[in-house]
Amino acid sequence: MVYVSIQTMTEYLRQIVEIESSVYSQEEVIKKAHQEFKLKESRRWENSGKLSKPDMPRYETEYNGVSCIIGGIVLLGVSFVFGLNLLFLENLFLLLLVIFTGVFGAYMIDVGWKTKAVKESNRKKREEYEEAMKKYEGAYMKEKERDSEQYEITKKNYKEMVLELEKVRDATKKVLQKLYSVGWIYPKYRNMIAMCTIYEYFSSGRVTALAGPDGAYNLYESELRQNMIVNRLDQIISQLEEIKNNQYTLYLELRKTNRILEGVAKDIQQMRQMANLIAFRTGNIEVNVRALRYFKSIIG
């Protein structure tokens, strides 16, 4: 590799870190957009589902009025006749039975007289319930249609927004690949974690070269073996504060991404605006393209 000054290499690594971080941020926002749309999809009918269905009325039991009255009169007559015969006897059980028969007969006559009113009351309840159900079903269909229309709008906005975000991400990736195409970075280390860590080595003055026994690659591998640094993103995200001391640059870049994700609106209509925000987050792609031309001019 052609000799490159420490200042030039440090600036080159800084550019790569910036673009790697931008790509990561963009992909995370796209992932969040997918998650939010799935959530919207699962709540597609939430407004219509909030409508309260009318409660089923409690109907009173309806009896045959004529039969109840006739039966009641018969029971009253039986209890009266037997009651007279038992009046002077001392059989308490039979006396109580006759009294119960008379009371039950009177109850049946009362039920018989009220049957018409009960039927009328049940009829009104039934009509009111049917009317309430018609109104409910009408309101339910209107809300469902409104939900369906809103869902189609959301779906359209979501697809347009994701397309915009993907275009920005793809443009950023192209710049990143062009930066790597200079050939200064060994392919194994062309990732966000390694680049943040190696850039930190240079910017802090711990190394002055990439290769060699005292170079950045060797230091990176050594610290990795000693578990001083972590190179698995899922593990880093779960223990972000713990990497602060040994991988400070990576820590800062991930914190930036987290702040962006926290600021992403859950409303997909508003999330469309994130394409411009994420484009800005790349640190101005044109600036990076000009930097790329500069780095290429160094190596002829």
| Interatomic CA distance for residues 300 and 297, integer angstroms | 5
42, two tokens: 């699962």
Query: Domain map of the chain by residue range?
Result: 6-44+156-298, 65-146
Mean pLDDT calculated for residue range 179-194: 93
DSSP assignment string, 19-75: HHHHHHHHHHHHHHHHHHHHHHHHTTTHHHHTSPPPPPP-PPPP--HHHHHHHHHHH
Angle at the Cα of 7 from the Cα atoms of 3 and 12, rounded to 5 degrees: 80
pLDDT at 40: 73
Q: Which residues contact 229 (CB under 8 A, 6 or more apart)?
A: 197, 220, 223, 243, 246, 247
Res. 159: pLDDT tops 80: yes
pLDDT in tens, 97-155: 666 665 665 655 655 546 666 666 767 777 778 888 888 888 888 887 887 887 787 78
Mean pLDDT lowest among 40-54, 116-130, 168-182, 277-291: 277-291
| Interatomic CA distance for residues 117 and 107, integer angstroms | 16
pLDDT at 33: 80
pLDDT range class, residue 288, cuts 50, 70, 90: low
Q: Which residues contact 191 (CB under 8 A, 6 or more apart)?
A: 20
pLDDT range class, residue 9, cuts 50, 70, 90: very high
Neighbour tally for 85: CB within 10 Å: 10
Q: Looking at per-residue confidence, does 199 or 121 come out higher?
A: 199
Determine contact, residues 220/201, Cβ cutoff 8 Å. yes
| Interatomic CA distance for residues 247 and 245, integer angstroms | 6
pLDDT at 273: 57
CA nearest neighbour of 291 among 23, 9, 24, 22: 9
pLDDT in tens, 69-107: 666 576 656 665 566 555 555 555 555 666 666 566 565
Cα atoms found within 13 Å of the Cα of residue 282, Cβ hemisphere only: 25
CA nearest neighbour of 274 among 156, 155, 152, 169: 169
CA nearest neighbour of 291 among 26, 23, 8: 8
Mean confidence (pLDDT) of the chain: 76
Q: Looking at per-residue confidence, does 134 or 278 come out higher?
A: 134
Share of the chain above pLDDT 90, in %: 19
**Residue 119 gets which letter from DSSP?**
H
pLDDT at 271: 57
Cα atoms found within 13 Å of the Cα of residue 44, Cβ hemisphere only: 13
pLDDT at 217: 96
**Residue 241 gets which letter from DSSP?**
G
| Interatomic CA distance for residues 242 and 260, integer angstroms | 21
Helix (H) or strand (E) holding 165: helix 92-180
Mean pLDDT lowest among 7-16, 67-76, 137-146, 256-265: 67-76
| Interatomic CA distance for residues 93 and 284, integer angstroms | 104
* Reported pTM: 0.65
pLDDT at 64: 56
Q: Which residues contact 60 (CB under 8 A, 6 or more apart)?
A: 118, 121, 122
Q: Looking at per-residue confidence, does 46 or 230 come out higher?
A: 230
